[in-house]
Amino acid sequence: MALFAAGVLRSAAAQAQTKASSALAKRNTRTMNKLLDTIELESKPNPSVSIIWMHGLGADGNDFVPIVNELDLSGCPGIRFVFPNAPTMPVTINGGYVMRAWYDILGTDIARREDESGLRASQKSIEQLIEREKSRGIPAERIILAGFSQGCAMTLQTGLRYPEKLLGLLCLSGYVPLRDVVAAERNAANQDTPVFLAHGRGDPVIQIQRAEQSRDLLVSMGYKVEWHEYMMQHSVCQEEIDDIGAWLRRVLAA
């Protein structure tokens, strides 16, 4: 059975580089009080910034760990990267196959049929992770939400509604979910939060037209969107990684 999935494709070299790196301390973290399990990396001791980075459908928190070592974070303060594992659930489009997912995919037309209850439940889980970072001394205004595919959708679902100012929204190969209600539900606290929105021109999973519609919706609501598109499919390329690093350096220097 061919499965609809949206985990990023990583090269063996990138994975090996991550395993060999001693610059970042990696640890698995099992959290209490029904918080999501997470994997964490810290670029320096005593980080003053947190990036909560959500994976795509069928992947897990390890999916973007290799990319951290490929980011140019020169001059940046210490960053705690938090990679949560989505819960497991049956995914309708995959014949009920159980996998990690932030919400169900009900069919190929993801714009018309959305799992609203799943989106809102995962939003609460991500908000709990934000609260945990705040309890560890990182204020909301020093927290970036990031995500790929379903994780991108959750970044926008959560970030646009969050009642405190966030540092940034890093959105890769995804879209704005529940677009018909976002204007009414968004919170003014993040009206000026910078948004990095990127997509592959040849993406067969989430076509670029859906991302362009999301971009145009955000721009129409006055958000500061930095748009990037690349000659790639539903994945991440080196040019994009370079652009992410440059965006992070700018946001953290502001």
Residues with a known catalytic role = 149, 203, 234
DSSP for 145-188 reads: EEEETHHHHHHHHHHTT-SS--SEEEEES---SSTTTHHHH--G
Strands (E) located in 7-165: 25-29, 38-42, 49-54, 79-84, 88-91, 97-100, 143-148
- Alpha carbons within 13 angstroms on the beta-carbon side of residue 235 total 10
Distance CA(59)–CA(13), nearest Å, equals 19
- What does the CA dihedral 169, 174, 178, 184 come to, rounded to 10 degrees? 30
For residues 89 and 139, give the distance between their C-alpha atoms in angstroms, rounded to a whole number.
32
Distance CA 68, CA 66 (A): 6
Is-contact 33 80, C-beta < 8 A? no
